[in-house]
A and B are shown apart, each in its own frame.
Chain A
């Protein structure tokens, strides 16, 4: 137990040294570290509870996704049956399925085979699950039912989340924040972390809008009043204005140009009125469509519709061929800016809801760091003094081992780019307790072996041998608790689990190697007859 080959000793010291050195970048200002080579840039990240910022958990509306999917299938069915010239009645979405009744019995087989073509294998070429995107079944009596299997819905939600993340990223980046984190969480959630953001109200407003933008014609054949009394043409719908008070408009359902064909949008001011406006630009195909539509409808009003609300309904004075235009409609500078952001970033495929929000102001974060540091210092000092009083020379060994241990924890945390949270600091303080315990176990065992009548070297040897087994057992149990915490925890709790887990690893390493090495070195040097413990 007390014998180390030269190489082994060197290996242990080098490992500890390298791990400790990983903590070095934390002691330099961030700007300076940025100029270092990439491998040297790993450092601790402060959690939002320490540096301040906003944490938002968004969830995609899975019912909306499902409904959209079913509506799309219904439209597809209509198209397929029309093309095949098959008569049908009662095409509806019912109980999470699309149902259609084929009029003539002879058409049934053709209809079934045609509709089955809509179904595709899930997961592309690699998807060998045998799952298909659609289950087409013959419900008897000419009724055909098209069901979307759960796997297909999940797949659709996955795609929706993926698209949404990109849009969310663009919108968040527009706020000019530093290093926001946008991640998928689970199957249907998006995690947004914005360091330094104190008031997430505006962010929530930006993310809470689907921002589905459409350019549509206003239906002038009926007045809004007539429409409200029920005389609404079938290809039009009644929409309200976005700005209060709500004013009704009758708008055609057909979309001239959609927001997806915008290439740019910028907030600005109208030259004449000084009013806040948003000017926009279409891409080539959007510009062509817009030019054609405006040329056909000179003198008519058209509506700019955002999330089914009319932002503005100007009259087309002349064909707009340049693919550029501007929206004015009682904007404030802020709302014009926000609309421009939304137009640039594009529409979300489905609405997102904020289901969890945690914001920490910079003052509290700074307080927490200071208090955490103070507690860590005081705790360490108390423990160090206590160890010195209890174990004297071996207390010095223990303190050296624990100090290296803590340095290694910081090194490993930096290497992993781990996030340090307030509970994380608590975890480190507790790890100091565990690390001290490993030393206590060893020294108490040595005392016992001495009492049992062994000579100095033999007692130290036996003390280490017996104590290390116990240290391993007791630390593995704590490690299991830390691992579970890591899996179930979120945010701060996870930070606690990470520091506790890493602390246990370094504690076991230190107990098995460094503490032994220090004591072995002392034994070689002093050749003690008695142990001052």
Chain B
């Protein structure tokens, strides 16, 4: 079934390729050539909204918390498939909760036969976790196939969490240092604010949806970071170029021009990334479902928004403080020879 679909799509691509190569398709302009949208004006709306959302996300993080997976919380996770074809979750729950392992969580996972079983970390160190998994295996016996069994002891989970956080921090630092070298500190700072904003909002999203927060979530966060920065850097690159070329242009106008001229690229790239992520989300299976969902939110929604409405306009404020006080718009031209000289 899937193969015929794939072959059909392959033929479609071949035909499209020929048509495209011969120049028979109409030119597609997602963003009209002459776009001059005043993005920076929206900073008066976008900044308060972002601040509000960030506060909301942080509040959620502290009240709702994250749904820590066993990577960080320790404990046991089993993914089982009932051999009969349909899992009797109620019966399994009764059996497993009678084992004296505290509360055992069961959840349907994918098809009707698949069940995800979570056993909280047992008191008594690493040995106790092993005993717990032996008990669960014993209770379920041969009635199910064990598709996945994960046991993480208390020490490992602590380390994984620490490493994850340290890694996230190191990644941000490394990227900032690089940006500082390639641009100027204002840009690095702007990127960092945008970065933290992305991560905070994504964590808020994870808190609302209560998706498992585990090692793959850290991977998702880092990828979101990379993508968002990728976007920010593309706009910053353009801003730098414009700064060199138009030394007298007021800062908000210059930023607007930069965002507008990279807008087409931003949108096209995001459509492609969205298409790729959509495929992963729909066909990639349960195992990477939460990973792609988080990525979708972070990359597609937050990342794009941040680069355009936060990372770029924030330079208006950051630029001011380097020289003298006053209106950002007037200050910008005065600052430019300065930056040009610094680059030489």
Contact = CB atoms under 8 A, between A and B. Distances in A.
B175 A477 contact: yes
A360 interface: yes
Contacts of B164: 488
B28 A354 contact: no
Given A360-B147, A385-B16, A354 B130 contact: yes
Contacts of A125: none
B234 A389 contact: no
Contact of B287 (A368, A444, A532): A368
Nearest to A382: B275
A70 interface: no
Interface string B263-296: 0110011011101111110111101100110010
B148 A359 contact: yes
B167 A361 contact: no
Interface stretch (B6-14, B42-50, B54-62, B314-322): B6-14
Given A437-B272, A441-B265, A378 B283 contact: yes
Interface string A434-477: 10110011001001100100000000000000100110011111
A323 interface: no
Contacts of A377: 6
A481 B179 CA distance: 13
Contact of B272 (A354, A440, A481): A440
A422 B148 CA distance: 14
A146 B226 CA distance: 53
B268 A423 contact: no
A387 interface: yes
A318 interface: no
B126 interface: yes
A527 to B, nearest CB: 16
Interface residues of A, number: 87
B178 A476 contact: yes
Nearest to A451: B33
Interface in A509-533: 532-533
A477 B284 contact: no
B284 A372 contact: yes
B163 interface: yes
B276 A360 contact: no
A489 B222 CA distance: 11
A478 B271 CA distance: 19
Interface in B78-98: 79, 81
B12 A385 contact: yes
Contact of B149 (A358, A423, A475): A358
A445 to B, nearest CB: 8
B308 interface: no
A429 to B, nearest CB: 5
A440 B23 contact: no
A201 interface: yes
A485 B283 contact: no
Contacts of B234: 441, 470, 473-474
Contacts of B103: none
A353 B230 contact: no
A375 B167 contact: no
Interface of A: 49, 57, 59, 198-199, 201, 204, 353-361, 363-364, 367-368, 371-372, 374-379, 381-393, 395-396, 399, 422-423, 425-426, 429-430, 432-434, 436-437, 440-441, 444, 447-448, 451, 466, 469-470, 473-478, 480-485, 487-490, 492-493, 496-497, 500, 532-533
10 contacts: A355-B153, A356-B151, A371-B285, A379-B278, A430-B223, A433-B269, A470-B233, A480-B174, A484-B174, A489-B215
Interface of B: 2, 6, 9-10, 12-13, 16-17, 19-21, 23, 25, 27-28, 30, 33, 79, 81, 126-127, 130, 133-134, 137, 145-153, 155-156, 160, 163-164, 166-167, 170-171, 174-175, 178-179, 182, 215-216, 218-219, 222-223, 225-227, 229-231, 233-234, 237-238, 241, 261-262, 264-265, 268-269, 271-273, 275-280, 282-285, 287-288, 291-292, 295
Given A354-B130, A497-B219, 5 more contacts: A353-B153, A359-B150, A383-B276, A393-B20, A478-B227
